[in-house]
Amino acid sequence: MKVFSIFALALALAAPAATFAASDDGGGVIQVRVSYGDVNLNTTKGATRLLQRLDGAATKVCGGRIISNPIDVEMARGSDCYRTTMENAVAQINAPVLRALYWRRVTTLAVNGR
Band (67; pLDDT cuts 50, 70, 90): low
How sure is the predictor about 64, in pLDDT bands with cuts at 50, 70 and 90? confident
* Cα 41 to chain centroid, rounded: 16
Mean pLDDT of 29-56: 88
> Side-chain half-sphere of 76: how many Cα atoms within 13 Å?
25
Would you say residue 11 has pLDDT above 50? no
Report the C-alpha gap between 2 and 15 in whole angstroms.
19
∠ Cα 49 56 88 (to 5°): 85
Q: Collapsing DSSP states into helix, strand and coil, what is residue 43?
A: coil
In angstroms, the CA 37 to CA 6 distance is 16
